Amino acid sequence: MSRLVYVLNGPNLNLLGKRQPHIYGSETLADVEASCRALAGELGLEIRFHQSNREYEIIDWIHEARETAGGIVINPAAFTHTSVAILDALNAFDAPVIEVHISNVHKREAFRHHSYVSLRADGVIAGLGTQGYGLALRRLAQLIDAQG
């Protein structure tokens, strides 16, 4: 199985570290990418790290991952609660998917308690800050090794 993992980030995560730091922390998305790349190297994974405020770009990356990737880590951000289209794209992806949320969405507004992506995800990490990305990569490495 491929050791390539796509790490996909949804809308407004380009503002990580600047937007609502009391909720999302002070790390930037570039910081998250750097830590993911370092950990991926330790785990023998290759990553493709993307962020978009456009739903269709995330869907296109999921479609691209179908051909090459052994797993997806996705923080769909606000698309979590709205995007049947992202769910449909993930349902067409045959390898493991781990959903990540920096904040604990279950302690926030009621509309954030529902996730379309969770209907497909093999695991969900919420409320562990940006450390959730590393945990997701570790789990994907285990799943890839098990299928191996």
Find out whether 138 is annotated in a ligand binding site: no
Find out whether 60 is annotated in a ligand binding site: no
Instruction: Identify whether 101 is a catalytic site residue.
Output: yes
Are 98 and 128 spatial neighbours (Cβ–Cβ below 8 Å)?
A: no
Residue 94 phi, psi dihedral angles, 5° rounding:
-90, -5
Distance CA 23, CA 120 (A): 26
Q: Which of 6, 101, 116, 133 is catalytic?
A: 101
Residue 88 phi, psi dihedral angles, 5° rounding:
-60, -40
Instruction: Identify whether 56 is a catalytic site residue.
Output: no
Find out whether 112 is annotated in a ligand binding site: yes
Q: Measured between alpha carbons, how far is residue 81 from residues 112, 115, 122 in Å?
A: 6, 5, 17
Q: Which of 24, 50, 116, 133 is catalytic?
A: 24
Residues serving a catalytic function are: 24, 101
Which residues are annotated as part of the binding site for substrate?
75, 81, 88, 102-103, 112
